[in-house]
Amino acid sequence: MSKTKVLIAGAGPSGLTLALWLTKLGVPVRIFDKAAAPGETSRALAVQARTLEFHRQIRIVEDVLAEGIRLEQLTVHTPAGVAARLPLSDFGRGISPYSFAFALPQDIHERVLITHLERAGVQVERGTELVTFQDKGEAVIATLSNGSRTETVSAAYLAGCDGARSTVRHGLNIGFPGGTYEQSFYVADVKGRGEITRNGMDTTVSAYGFAIVMPVRQSGSVRLIGIVPKAHEADETITFEAIRADIERDTGVIVDEVNWFSTYRVHHRVAERFRVGRVFLCGDAGHIHSPAGGQGMNTGMGDAVNLAWKLAAVVQGRADPRLLDSYEPERIAFARKLIESTDQAFRIATSRSRLVGLFRRYLMPKILSIALHTSFGSRAFFSVISQAAIQYRAGPISSGMAGKVSGGDRLPYVLSARGDNFEALRSLDWQVHVYGDVSVEFRAMVAPSGIPIHAFPWSDAAEKAGLQRDAAYLVRPDGHVALASPLQEAAALQRYLAGLAIRPRTAERAPYRVPGTMHSLA
């Protein structure tokens, strides 16, 4: 029987992200997928700023950015012509280091993740399926099949990142309530001609629905996404040629060559549980929803990051196993909220109601234009779409409030002349942030814990971000605030750490810091 710390079923974006983070954190993993090779087609295109922030933490963001396109503009078309041109190149200024919209097809994104995983010495085991598994209490015993060969693996934990038809979820007998939208959709990768916005996204809205046109950097091709015409929805097989005229009319693209074409139905479901014992669900295995806002893939990768640092801490004896109890409530709450919001947006975008169609064609572009051409509107829209607004305030490991920042919030982004406060997050470790001055007493009392203190100069940017001057913020490895304390109270920090038996990774290398040592970008 072979052994590993974490066994990962599924090598899509969620599984690959989980494997990469765990590997960077020093945890042995095995990751397998029943597919013989990575996918070569994809529906997911949007890579949100929060995902790019996570990629920065594990030092792969530049490679990801090099493969995709920074979208500078969203052009909204109606049958009458251009209804709005919306700025996307810097609409999240001051909220994230990645203040732009970014597009990268999922299959190319996966290849970047696989390359970095292989560089770290981990190979995806292809053509391998999970046959059975059993949680024995002290370990999960799984049987894997690769053709005619079977293998028994003992893992401390099993993560089901194996998609909407998850074998892991079925094995746990977890319900997956929800439904399926009535419309069918098409996605195509084509070479074509037309009024295509360079480094932008074109969308056509009409009384019947919508269509999207987006360039793909690597191939110089164009990605087309839209609703299958009602007259063809019931067709047993839908071909591109059957709906070519509709696609060309709705997208404004004259298609010269079709690289690939697919149709699909969209589901909306959230699993009843994200965890049972030593087994976890991640990504599409736990939740699937409409493509509205480009949230699906990014949410699954967010699941993976949330789970990775917690598993690493527990596996390495740097936290009480109770830390893992926070994964489900934090991520399932967001998944349910996301279902509600994307469902509403999706129904507006796809409804065949004449009244909704008129709203979509005439009023929606004007509302979007007004919103995105104001500072408040663009920032609010970016915060939601980018997932920078995700917070775990109601979670079991979130505590306190200082300024406008509560425990559970994503650490606000602050840029100064000397750099930004997110650079410190590359350590993938616990840390304390103070924006202002650190007292000698606080510094000395925190030092034995091994938690580094990062001090940043107080600034207008820090105040605008909602931080409180001289307050102490204990930051988790994933960049969320764990404890927000208006005062520099070492006792409160120590109580928090002791409650979950938390020790930072740095403590293993340097159990005691010299009192007075302080990291600073001031």
Domain region containing 372: 69-97+178-268+353-389
Judging by DSSP bridges, how do beta strands 253-270 and 124-126 pair with one another?
Answer: unpaired
Q: Are residues 135 and 192 in the same domain?
A: no
43/84 same-domain check: no
pLDDT score, position 207: 60
Question: Last residue of a domain, which of 348, 376, 408?
Answer: 348
* β-strand pairing of 29-33 with 2-9: parallel
Q: Determine, yes or no, domain membership for 385.
A: yes
Look up the pTM and report it.
0.91
pLDDT more than 90, % of the chain: 62
The mean pLDDT value for 353-378 works out to: 66
Cα–Cα dist 270/284, whole Å: 9
pLDDT over 50 (residue 511): no
Whether residues 186 and 246 share a domain: the answer is yes
pLDDT tens per residue across span 207-225:
666 788 988 766 678 889 8
Phi (first) and psi of residue 156, to 5 degrees: -65, -35
The reply to whether 291 and 321 lie within a common domain is yes
Residue 191 CB contacts under 8 Å (≥ 6 apart), including other chains: 220, 221, 222, 255, 256, 257, 259
Dihedral over alpha carbons 236, 238, 243, 248 (to 10 degrees):
160
Q: Looking at 30-34, 278-282, 343-347, 391-395, which range is the least confident one?
A: 343-347
Q: Which residues have CB under 8 Å from 208's CB, separation 6+?
A: 227, 230, 352, 357
| Type of residue found at 479 | G
Q: Where are the alpha helices (DSSP H) in 386-459?
A: 440-446
Separation of alpha carbons 73 and 100, rounded Å:
10
Task: Report yes or no on 184 lying in a domain.
Answer: yes
Identify whether residues 412 and 453 lie together within a single domain.
Answer: yes
Residue 471 shares a structural domain with residue 490: yes
Number of domains composing the chain = 3
How far is the C-alpha of 246 from the C-alpha of 228, rounded, in Å? 9
- Residues 284, 325, single domain; the answer is yes
CA separation for the pair 212, 205 (Å, rounded): 9
Q: Provide the CATH number for the domain around residue 204.
A: 3.30.9.10
User: Per-residue pLDDT tens for 301-335?
Assistant: 999 999 999 999 999 999 999 999 999 999 999 99
CATH number at residue 508: 3.40.30.120
pLDDT at position 119: 97
CATH number of the CATH domain containing 168: 3.50.50.60
Same domain membership, residue 275 and residue 163: yes
pLDDT at 362: 57
Q: What average pLDDT does the structure give for the chain?
A: 88
Whether residue 506 lies inside any domain: the answer is yes
Same domain, 247 and 359: yes
Q: Are residues 286 and 357 in the same domain?
A: no
Mean pLDDT of 229-247: 88
Query: Last residue of a domain, which of 319, 348, 377?
Result: 348
Is residue 204 situated within a structural domain?
yes
Query: Do residues 221 and 193 share a domain?
Result: yes
Q: Does 394 fall in a domain?
A: no
Residues 6 or more apart in contact with residue 332 via CB below 8 angstroms: 270, 271, 273, 274, 286
Q: Express each pLDDT in 286-307 by its tens digit.
A: 999 876 657 889 999 999 999 9
In this structure, the answer to whether residues 141 and 22 fall within a common structural domain is yes
pLDDT tens-digit profile of 429-444? 999 999 999 999 999 9
